[in-house]
Chains A and B, each alone.
Chain A
Amino acid sequence: MSAPATQTDALPQARIDFVPVALVVAIALGAFALIGSPSTWVTLTVAGLAMGLLIFIMASGLTLVFGLMDVMNFAHGLFIAIGAYVAVSVIKVFGASAGADSFTANLAAIVPALAAAVVVAGLLGLFFERVIIRPVYGQHLKQILITTGGMIVAEQLIHVLWGPDQLPLLRPPTLRGSFLIGDIALEKFRLAAVVIGLAVFVSLVALLNRTKIGLLIRAGVENKEMVEAMGYRIRRLFVAVFVAGAALAGLGGALWGMYQESVTVLIGAQMMVLIFIVIIIGGLGSVGGCFIGALLVGLVANYVGYLSPKIALGSNILLMVAILLWRPQGLYPMNKQ
């Protein structure tokens, strides 16, 4: 029997569940044992982290939007595609500095490209929320249908604007190739992706945990009626989160396009499958779960791709099934009332 809590007791800290984090580490170590060669393992791990962090950038907005407003946007891939296409166009404009062999000149092309991708995807998100999603709040069936419809129309419009062919999206010279440390080859672009991805994750966590807006978002995920009752306009908050999520997807799309070095309109639909797997693994609505899920998917895809290429493409699904058998609500289940 514990003593009844008194007024002086501090609020109990939410306990962080470290088991999924340990799982990521365990998988990395297990892969090390199977692969054997340290240099290969480091290369694969960096590739897996880069892929996972890029997926996280794209998926984080979707899972937050779902947590906050119970809205699942099946057209999220559209923002990814638009980000990639905008990046292609902007880099074409800055062709001279994108092709130059100096890092600052390359930066002068890449930064505007990424910024444009973020802005255009964000604006499109604003439009999309207003026109497509707002009329169907709270109706899951219609949400799925209407956002899928929006995706069809948008894909066709991309065809109209950019043409149906696959477009090349070349990385600037200073981001090609790799660093050699001993016999370990680290691709430069992957390192850059890891840095950007971690920066996004850290700022997202800081925003959610250290600011008033973050507090409201977290409170809204827990219980949005209560936040409304306290006098905050949850809808405005939601629009902000939706736009931010779309903008992040645009950023992720631009980076993913550079990672693949080409862009087709299918990029959105292809990434959607991965993103869904990631947020199902993480637990719908959980940003931390989305992060861990993205790392798991990225790492497993790369390790399995090396160890047994035959089943590589299906490894994500097998991972999802395994995780759901272990934790049916995902790694970090959101307890919604």
Chain B
Amino acid sequence: MIEALLSGDRPRSRLLAAMLAAILVSLALAPFLFPGTRALDVAAKVCVFVLLVASYDLLLGYTGIVSFAHTMFFGIGGYGVAIATTRLDPTWGAIALGTVAALAISLALSFLIGLFSLRVKAIFFAMITLAVASFFAILASQLSNLTGGEDGITFKVPELLRPGFRLLEEPLLGVTVGGRLVTYYLIFAAALALFLALLRAVNSPFGRVLLAIRENDFRAEALGYRTVIYRTIANCLGAAVATLAGVLYALWLRYTGPNTTLDFAIMIDILLMVVIGGMGTMYGAVLGATIFVVAQNYLQDLMKLASGAAQGVPLLPDLLHPDRWLLWFGVLFVLSVYYFPRGIVGQLRAWRT
């Protein structure tokens, strides 16, 4: 049963399996284990980013192409829902319509970008996607009557998902069972299902071809696989899942704006999560996203303490300033690319043997 769910791709390391199980259980029971809105926010963000990072890993780790346009598809999902629910009524139908429209736009865009630039070198693709993504971000901030410009769009969600809604009159185990809880479990279930679907995809014959292209695209082409087509399909698949992640994130925040979806900083975050977690394995996305999002929210408190303790030493308080946490993740990122190119997951698996 578990074997089938994981598509035969077992963690292959006891410690890794234990960590994954711990993350799964924590996320599944998050509202009950960690009360408070901030903790639930972090848990929902982890769910969304695990999915987003996993879909990026399909491109970077499995197919060997670097795209800087992943946040663009993330944003399309968010804006799709936001625009549909504000223009129409905040109903499930509007959400479905927004999602479908966003998916269609994402697929068309990723298909075009793929056909246009995946024939040539990885570097060319990276540069083109960077340019297109920045163009899209500009477009989103310029077309303010459609997208709300820099302010973004705050929108209403269906009754069932609203914070004021109560599913049960009495609290369950001391936790209010209301709209936030329902939204959280919606996100959790959708992210889990889509993650398992991605796991299925990379362990299918299609996924094997992607790996072959990553390792040696000339040989894959010589064996009769049309590499452009496989790369384009991977690009479209990654874009579609990123769009769905954007939909989920927008539903959680009840808001979509450039800073939560299209910002280049988010693209950098995704890169950091993939590489630190481990490229070329879906489990890396789980570890990378969890560690990163938790650090993003709680490391700063720790650094505030450290920075205070280092008062008086020149430069050190500045280096440990809470706003500089990305510095340390950047260093970790560079070191991982050099010394642990398979990230945490690869390292855990290596220890086992």
Interface residue ranges, A against B (CB under 8 Å): 66, 72, 74, 132, 135-136, 140-146, 148-150, 152-153, 156-157, 159-160, 164, 269, 272-273, 276-277, 280, 284, 310, 313-314, 316-317, 320, 324
Contacts and interface: CB of A to CB of B under 8 A. Distances in A.
Given A152-B326, A317-B135, A146 B142 contact: no
Residue picked from A74, A146, A156, most chain B C-beta under 10 Å? A156
Contact of A140 (B123, B135, B138): B123
A273 B130 contact: yes
B275 A313 contact: no
Interface stretch (B24-32, B192-200, B227-235, B329-337): B329-337
A144 B142 contact: no
A141 B142 contact: no
Given A152-B330, A153-B331, A160 B130 contact: no
B132 A317 contact: yes
B124 interface: yes
Interface residues of B, number: 40
Interface string B303-324: 0000000000001001101011
B105 interface: no
B345 interface: no
Nearest to A280: B127
B48 interface: no
4 A-B pairs closest in CB distance: A156-B327, A152-B330, A153-B330, A149-B334
Interface in B117-142: 121-124, 126-128, 130-132, 134-135, 138-139, 142
B327 A160 contact: yes
A313 B138 contact: yes
A54 B122 CA distance: 28
A159 B320 CA distance: 12
Given A132-B334, A153-B330, A159-B324, A141 B122 contact: yes
Nearest to B64: A141
A276 B127 contact: yes
Contacts of A160: 315, 318-319, 321, 324, 327
Contacts of A142: 337, 341
Contacts of B264: 269
B127 A156 contact: no
A8 to B, nearest CB: 42
A141 B60 CA distance: 9
A150 B335 CA distance: 10
A160 B135 CA distance: 30
B89 to A, nearest CB: 31
Given A74-B126, A149-B275, 11 more contacts: A141-B60, A141-B64, A153-B334, A156-B324, A159-B323, A160-B321, A160-B327, A164-B323, A269-B264, A273-B130, A317-B132
A320 B128 CA distance: 10
Given A144-B123, A145-B66, A280 B131 contact: yes
Contacts of A156: 324, 326-327, 330
A320 B127 CA distance: 12
B271 interface: yes
Nearest to A146: B337
B135 A145 contact: no
A313 B134 CA distance: 10
Contacts of B291: none
Given A276-B127, A320-B131, A146 B338 contact: yes
B22 interface: no
Nearest to B325: A156
A72 B127 contact: yes
A140 B271 contact: no
A164 B318 CA distance: 11
Contacts of A135: 338
10 contacts: A72-B126, A144-B126, A145-B271, A146-B337, A146-B338, A149-B333, A156-B330, A273-B130, A276-B130, A314-B142
Given A156-B327, A160-B327, A272 B130 contact: yes
